[in-house]
């Protein structure tokens, strides 16, 4: 398929939309083409308008559940549907531009040879055909139009990428590159990074980053709300939920829980100087995590309702006597050191100023330089998949920073490649022939997409789309 297709069947809308027998092109970014204007048209392709009536009819013909449509209005459901409609229109315009046609006899053959419409003797059954149309609430004209559109779309795809064959040298080159062994030297930088820092270095970092290092300290009050505390009854009754509504209204107006506490004679827990969410009390952690969302709130905790208030909040910079704080600062300094160390290496590599001498100098001893042979591009027993993809696209004697499966960082030097012999009758060759052919198709598709980008100018009128959203609500 073309490289830039929207695989609509995998989107969330596939749940609510009837399957359409196409895989439409997407040649533009929807966000970049929104503009104000035209009140009767929702979109425009070159000089061809897509009216609001066209859009509404398309939605209706798509048999979308109205409730699902309303539910997803704010989740860009109409934008997705409009993308489908524009795609259909654009494909049709391209088919007409090229001059592709489907003869009536071909359409007839397509329908009469469909196994769903055959009787026990494998002959076309008019009764089965008409029954199918009735069960799917579709007319013969509409169904045949859909078949015709589908066949023309296939013709368009064949026009673009049909008949593509991969030359054997491309297939073999792909196999050689993916299955070659890579011998490389590597240094685990986790053993090279600086890990110990003096009190002066820690103090300086704190002084330079005071605002970022300040912690939120809060004082809080909370109480668990259960039926027996406010109704003298253990049942979650209508009366209980009515009182809950009253409590919510009360705290919304007062922005405090004190009146509720007094009214129901509740005994709140009061805790001061909470500075993080690592407390033994999970409720305190819950409230601390919500400190920036609401000062006073009533939340459902499944087994009870939690009424809380953050009575005070301030930002404080802990001192050097706070071991937990100092440990967190040291961790930040370590990460900064790693970042700067890696950045300097990358800068030299990218500017071709990194040499074998630099590589050797980074190691603290000869024991720090290890050797490994990667068996193939699929050999991710040590380095992760992304690192392997990077390595297999680099030349010999190149340097690169990569990571292993535990996210440890390594500086590596590619020593040499060992290429494997290819069996002309192997399954590997067959697999790579398909991959090579797909690569060629994708390249052709990408070029064709660029052509269509230039050929068709797509506009979507945001104001009209907003009005349509109100229409469907």
Tell me how far apart the alpha carbons of residues 383 and 292 are, in angstroms, rounded to a whole number: 40
Count of CB atoms situated within 10 Å of the CB of 252: 11
Q: Is the dihedral of CA 148, 150, 156, 157 positive or negative?
A: negative
Q: Any idea how long the chain is?
A: 473
At which residue do the structure tokens 């209204």 appear?
A: 249
Range of lowest pLDDT (284-288, 330-334, 428-432, 462-466): 428-432
Tell me how far apart the alpha carbons of residues 93 and 101 are, in angstroms, rounded to a whole number: 13
- How would residue 201 be classed by pLDDT, with cut points 50, 70 and 90? very high
Tell me how far apart the alpha carbons of residues 359 and 410 are, in angstroms, rounded to a whole number: 11
Q: Cβ distance 376 to 180 under 8 Å?
A: yes
DSSP H helical segments within 255-322, as ranges?
258-263, 282-289
Tell me how far apart the alpha carbons of residues 126 and 469 are, in angstroms, rounded to a whole number: 42
Per the structure block, which two tokens stand in for 61? 């013909």
Tell me how far apart the alpha carbons of residues 295 and 312 are, in angstroms, rounded to a whole number: 9
pLDDT, tens only, 203-247 = 999 999 999 999 999 999 999 999 998 888 888 888 989 999 999
Tell me how far apart the alpha carbons of residues 347 and 359 are, in angstroms, rounded to a whole number: 14
Q: Closest by alpha carbon to 338, among 390, 391, 410?
A: 410
Element (H, E) at 324: helix 323-350
Q: Look at residue 83 in the predicted model and tell me its pLDDT.
A: 87
Residue 429 has pLDDT above 50, yes or no: yes
- Mean pLDDT for 445-458 is 85
- How would residue 19 be classed by pLDDT, with cut points 50, 70 and 90? very low
Phi, psi for residue 248 in degrees, rounded to 5: -60, -45
- Mean pLDDT for 411-424 is 86
User: 397 in the Ramachandran plot: left (φ > 0), alpha (ψ -120 to 50) or beta?
Assistant: left
Element (H, E) at 215: strand 215-225
Comparing 461 with 61, the larger pLDDT belongs to 461
pLDDT, tens only, 73-124 = 888 888 888 988 988 888 889 899 889 888 888 888 888 888 888 888 889 8
Residue 18 has pLDDT above 70, yes or no: no
Element (H, E) at 182: strand 181-188
Per the structure block, which two tokens stand in for 315? 């930002």
Percentage of the residues of the chain whose pLDDT score is greater than 70: 91
Residue 400 has pLDDT above 70, yes or no: yes
Q: Which of 56-70, 378-392, 425-439 has the highest mean pLDDT?
A: 378-392
pLDDT, tens only, 132-183 = 888 888 888 888 888 888 888 888 888 888 777 878 878 888 888 888 899 9
**Whole-angstrom distance between the N-terminal and C-terminal Cα of the chain?**
36
At which residue do the structure tokens 């490389």 appear?
A: 184
Q: Look at residue 39 in the predicted model and tell me its pLDDT.
A: 58
Q: What is the DSSP string of 28-96?
A: S-HHHHEE---SSEEEEETTEEEEHHHHHHHHHHTT--HHHHHHTGGGTHHHHHHHHHHHHHHHHHHHH
At which residue do the structure tokens 């704080």 appear?
A: 325
Q: Look at residue 23 in the predicted model and tell me its pLDDT.
A: 31
- Mean pLDDT for 411-421 is 90
Q: What is the widest separation between alpha-carbon atoms in the chain?
A: 92
At which residue do the structure tokens 């240094």 appear?
A: 187
* CA-atom Rg of the chain in angstroms: 33
The alpha carbon of 201 is separated from its chain's Cα centroid by a whole number of angstroms, namely 40
């Amino acid at each position: 398929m073309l490289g830039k297709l929207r695989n609509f069947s995998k989107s969330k809308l596939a749940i609510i939309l009837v399957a359409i027998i196409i895989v439409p092109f997407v040649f533009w970014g929807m966000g970049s083409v929104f503009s104000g204007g035209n009140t009767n048209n929702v979109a425009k392709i070159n000089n061809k308008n897509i009216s609001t009536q066209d859009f509404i009819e398309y939605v209706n013909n798509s048999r979308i559940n109205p409730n699902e449509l309303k539910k997803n209005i704010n989740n860009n459901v109409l934008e997705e549907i409009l993308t489908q409609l524009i795609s259909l229109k654009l494909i049709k315009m391209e088919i007409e531009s090229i001059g592709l046609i489907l003869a009536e006899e071909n359409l007839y053959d397509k329908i009469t040879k469909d196994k769903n419409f055959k009787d026990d003797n494998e002959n076309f059954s008019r009764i089965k055909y008409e029954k199918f149309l009735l069960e799917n609430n579709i007319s013969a004209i509409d169904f045949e139009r859909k078949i015709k559109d589908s066949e023309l779309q296939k013709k368009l795809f064949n026009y673009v990428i049909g008949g593509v064959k991969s030359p054997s040298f491309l297939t073999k080159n792909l196999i050689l590159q993916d299955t070659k062994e890579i011998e490389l030297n590597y240094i685990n930088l986790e053993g090279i990074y600086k890990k110990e820092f003096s009190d002066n270095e820690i103090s300086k970092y704190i002084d330079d980053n005071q605002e970022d290092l300040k912690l939120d300290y809060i004082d809080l009050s909370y109480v668990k709300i259960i039926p027996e505390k406010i109704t003298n009854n253990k049942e979650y009754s209508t009366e209980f939920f009515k009182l809950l509504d009253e409590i919510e209204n009360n705290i919304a107006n007062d922005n405090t829980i004190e009146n509720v506490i007094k009214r129901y004679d509740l005994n709140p827990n009061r805790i001061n100087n909470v500075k993080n969410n690592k407390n033994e009390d999970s409720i305190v952690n819950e409230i601390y995590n919500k400190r920036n969302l609401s000062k006073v709130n009533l939340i459902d905790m499944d087994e009870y309702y939690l009424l809380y208030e953050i009575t005070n909040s301030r930002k404080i910079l802990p001192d050097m006597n706070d071991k937990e704080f100092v440990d967190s600062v040291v961790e930040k300094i370590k990460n900064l050191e790693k970042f700067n160390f890696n950045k300097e290496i990358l800068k030299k590599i990218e500017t071709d100023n990194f040499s074998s001498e630099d590589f050797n100098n980074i190691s603290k001893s000869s024991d720090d330089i290890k050797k490994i042979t990667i068996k193939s591009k699929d050999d991710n027993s040590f380095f992760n998949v992304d690192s392997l993809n990077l390595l297999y696209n680099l030349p010999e004697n190149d340097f690169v920073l990569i990571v292993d499966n535990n996210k440890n960082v390594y500086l590596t030097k590619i020593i040499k490649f060992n290429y494997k012999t290819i069996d002309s009758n192997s399954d590997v060759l067959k697999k790579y022939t398909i991959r090579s052919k797909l690569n060629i198709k994708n390249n052709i598709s990408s070029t064709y997409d660029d052509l269509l980008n230039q050929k068709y100018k797509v506009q979507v009128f945001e104001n009209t789309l907003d009005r349509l959203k109100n229409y469907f609500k």
